[in-house]
Amino acid sequence: MPIRSICFLLGQLLFIPSYFYMTKTLKKEKLRAPSFVRFLLVCPPMAYIYTILCMGLIYRLLPGKISYDIIYGVDFFVFGISFLLMYFYGRMMEPVGSAARFLYLCLYLLSMPFTATYDSLTMTVLIDLLMPIIVNFIYCKWVCHPIVGLREDCNRINGVLLTILIIAECLFLLRIAGFLFIESHVELKKYDVYFSVYSFIYAIFVLMFVFSAIIIIVQNIKSARENEQAAKKNHEQSIETIESLVRAVDAKDSYTNGHSARVAKYTRQISKLLGYDDEKADGMYYMALLHDVGKIGVDDAILRKPGRLTDKEFSDIKNHTVIGSQILSRISSMPELQYGALYHHERWDGKGYPRGLKGEEIPEAARIIAVADAYDAMTSNRSYRKALTQDCVHDEIVNGIGRQFWPPAARAMLKMMDQDIHYDMRQKNDESSQNDEQKYEYGIS
């Protein structure tokens, strides 16, 4: 075997330690002997061994001319087999398969430039033997560890790296095309030296291109993760603000203490029955939790008045919807919160307040909150009356379908009532159970 081919083979074998270093880092444990053999069979350099075996089989089974033409396309075999090995490696590395495929693809890209033999033995040793040592060191130190730290996010970037691979492979095939063209034209043999120069430039260019792309990808992932963490922190702060506002509302009137939490709970349950996903149901839950926040701006004497309200007092009470909307509009991270406060007293027939919206004009969240709010009002003790019986509440909701209430939400509420055979969905009589309920519903227990 020519010494240049031996240098090429040794250079490719140098990527095996980096491959096992990557595997160990991802798995966070050493490989045992059976696992070591399985992982060895799918390492990137094995693509060349499998290709050699395939080419030998083709050479023996097919006529000389056909096998000769196929063998000239050996690089396509390497390309295809490498993808198969990458797929199997990802399967073996689950649940971190995305990160494993990403790092495998990186290793394959970084080994691509070192797949040529040069007329100069010095160039062959320099490019195909010594440079892989440097590249492997850089890969283990500056590629492997950052990607392992971001392994949960790798599924979003494998497509980007595949694009880079296609570009690099096109450059690689251009080099092969140049080699075949020179081989088929004897008069061009004297330009072999220029082809070697091109191969060297190709190797440097691909390495710079791949490393730059990896650095950009890693930085983008880190930025995306930081943005997500900032958004999560902002959301948590908004939830804390919501909880504080709800406590402030409940502190205004002992008779309605826990009302907001119960309405929010019923709203979420209705939303789930209507087929909303968890994210949307949670959004409606928080809207319902703050639907009465405007009562902060209503006089305590009006809220706690045991008798009938005057027209002026009732007008002040109705204004809590607008006040609540103005307060919640300042929570920029959850701008939809204001709609539950503003529209939860609108009626399906258009006779509600403050805008007199009708039917589909009312936001869906407000339609659901309206049913949950009315149900809790009827099943809770007030300063002017006791809680209604379950049958009475059932009849009131049935009578309100298509008039006061959005029919799908009202029917979902009735379904919940039918399942509540012990009439547990109502205000508890003892203060401790109310406090326990609040802690559970606010998520602070």
Q: Which DSSP string do the residues of 59-110 spell out, in sequence order?
A: HHHS-HHHHHHHHTTHHHHHHHHHHHHHHHHHHHTTTSHHHHHHHHHHHHHH
Is this prediction's pTM over 0.85? no
Q: pLDDT tens for residues 127-151?
A: 777 878 888 887 887 778 777 766 6
Instruction: Tell me: do 204 and 259 sit in the same domain.
Output: no
In a domain, 237, yes or no: no
Structural domain for 90, as ranges: 3-228
Instruction: Tell me: do 317 and 425 sit in the same domain.
Output: yes
In a domain, 398, yes or no: yes
In a domain, 293, yes or no: yes
Query: How sure is the predictor about 374, in pLDDT bands with cuts at 50, 70 and 90?
Result: very high
In a domain, 14, yes or no: yes
Instruction: Tell me: do 170 and 296 sit in the same domain.
Output: no
Instruction: Tell me: do 267 and 394 sit in the same domain.
Output: yes
In a domain, 236, yes or no: no
In a domain, 234, yes or no: no
Instruction: Tell me: do 351 and 435 sit in the same domain.
Output: yes
Buried b (16+ CB within 10 A) or exposed e, 285-306: bbbbbbbbbbbeebeeebbeee
Length reported for the chain: 445
Q: What is the pLDDT of residue 103?
A: 84
Tell me the C-alpha distance between 267 and 264, whole Å: 5
Buried b (16+ CB within 10 A) or exposed e, 155-170: eebbeebeebbeebbe
| Per-residue tokens: 117 | 């033999």
Instruction: Tell me: do 28 and 157 sit in the same domain.
Output: yes
> Which of 357, 376, 364, 369 has its CA nearest to residue 428?
376
User: Structural domain tally of the chain?
Assistant: 2
Q: What is the pLDDT of residue 248?
A: 76
Instruction: Tell me: do 192 and 307 sit in the same domain.
Output: no
**Residue pointed to by tokens 């880190």:** 222
Q: pLDDT tens for residues 257-312?
A: 788 889 999 999 999 999 999 989 988 998 998 898 888 888 888 877 777 788 88
Instruction: Tell me: do 96 and 164 sit in the same domain.
Output: yes
Instruction: Tell me: do 33 and 113 sit in the same domain.
Output: yes
Contact status, residue 230 vs residue 279, Cβ threshold 8 Å: no
Q: pLDDT tens for residues 149-206?
A: 666 666 666 666 667 667 766 766 666 666 667 667 766 666 666 666 666 676 677 7
In a domain, 235, yes or no: no
Contact status, residue 260 vs residue 290, Cβ threshold 8 Å: yes
Instruction: Tell me: do 157 and 276 sit in the same domain.
Output: no
> Which of 364, 369, 408, 352 has its CA nearest to residue 288?
369
Backbone angles phi, psi at 385, to 5 degrees: -165, 165
In three-state secondary structure terms, 304 is coil
CATH of the domain at 377: 1.10.3210.10
DSSP for 246-259, please give it: HHHHHHH-GGGTTH
In a domain, 83, yes or no: yes
Instruction: Tell me: do 144 and 178 sit in the same domain.
Output: yes
Instruction: Tell me: do 219 and 269 sit in the same domain.
Output: no
